[in-house]
Amino acid sequence: MEEVLKAELARLNSPFPKQRISLEEALSSERPGVPLTNGAFQPFRREELELLASLVPEGKRGELRLPILLALDPGLGRGAVRVRGEAESRAVGSLLGKRVEGGELVIYRPELREVRRRLPTTTYYLFLP
Amino acid sequence: MMAVSPTRMSLLRLRRRIALARKGHDLLREKMDALVMEFFEVLRRVYEVRKEAFDRLASAHFLLSLCMASWGTVETEQAAREAAKGVVLETSVRYVMGVPVPVAEVEVTVRSPLERGYSLLSPSLLDRASEEFERALKLLVELAELEETARALAWELERTRRRVNALEYILIPRLEAALRFIAMRLDEMEREHFFRLKRIKALLERRERSGGGAEG
């Protein structure tokens, strides 16, 4: 059972994006997306990129890294998710109509549902041990 | 209960195993919650898209029936045979918490009457029916993607739920029972040791007293 558990924990963040690209790069790319650690490619939907572009000022598009990581941290309590990075947390904050202070935003399950509903391909879950 | 030797080493090892099991349980429960949320969101979309697709198809079939009635069945079937076929469908895979789910995108589904390829002398009813079918096609592709996503998420959800339950109801309680047993056994051994020391001390004191009495 413990072997299964260890394998399961190792599998939680697999596959993971090998690199993140800026919103600016994604918008100018013909096939926007990022490679994953298992060799697959995670595509971004064009409509989501356009939605993000409407939320972020033009000068800041180079700072927003995609996919936006939604960190599930059991230390924060059940259902709480942390969004790190100033541009990323501001984008998610303006999507939800939330004020962001500092380079971090904590959102809860109903907000997470809204974020995932509107940005299913440009956000990615990250499990923090 | 698990077979464990009641030593301090085992106690420390068990504590580490319990900490790992609890951490795993918390993380897997988070994953399960997120999967439930994703699954219900996909189901909601499946319901919406299915309804919309069926409405479009019903409307398309109604228009096609009207066209057949007014223009003639043979002529309508001939136009259908002449129509250009083939749709460019792009498929790929995206990952939701490690679960591969399909992404299917159709570039353009609604074509102009010229692109459809049948005679331009056909009635406008045929164009309207074709347009409805083309719109329904986009929805059907989306529906296929969503249904496959729901199936993959449901499978992963079931798997994760089994792991969480096994941890919550089997592994963690067993480890905790073993920990309690070792702690109890070690306490018992400590009490035995303490009692033994007291007995030895009393014995030594008695010997000392009896030895001192003989000398005096």
How far is residue B48's CA from residue A65's CA, in Å, rounded to a whole number?
32
Domain of residue A66 covers: 2-127
Domain of residue B40 covers: 27-166
Domains: count for chain B: 1
How far is residue B166's CA from residue A51's CA, in Å, rounded to a whole number?
42
Q: Does B90 touch chain A (CB under 8 A)?
A: no
Closest-CA distance, A58 to chain B, in angstroms, reads 28
| Domain membership flag for residue B106 | yes
Within chain B, strands assigned E span 89-96, 99-106
How far is residue B174's CA from residue B167's CA, in Å, rounded to a whole number?
10
Domains: count for chain A: 1
Q: Indicate the pTM of the whole model.
A: 0.83
- Residue A103 pLDDT greater than 90, yes or no: no
Q: Does A127 touch chain B (CB under 8 A)?
A: yes
| Domain membership flag for residue B69 | yes
Q: Which residues of A touch B26 (CB under 8 A)?
A: 74
Residue B216: predicted pLDDT = 43
Name residues 74-103 of chain A within 8 A of B (Cβ). Answer: 74, 78-79
Q: What's B140's domain CATH number?
A: 1.10.287.3240
ipTM rounded to 2 decimals: 0.87
- Residue A26 pLDDT greater than 60, yes or no: yes
B188, with CB counted inside 10 A (0-12, 13-18, 19+), is: exposed
Q: Does B43 touch chain A (CB under 8 A)?
A: no
Lowest mean pLDDT among A48-52, A76-80, A121-125, B194-198: A76-80
Q: Does A10 touch chain B (CB under 8 A)?
A: no
Subunit contact A129:B27, Cβ cutoff 8 A: yes
Q: Tens digits of per-residue pLDDT, B136-156?
A: 999 999 999 999 999 999 999
**Is residue B102 within 8 Å of B93, Cβ to Cβ?**
yes
How far is residue B66's CA from residue B125's CA, in Å, rounded to a whole number?
7
| Domain membership flag for residue B21 | no
Lowest mean pLDDT among B50-64, B119-133, B137-151, B165-179: B119-133
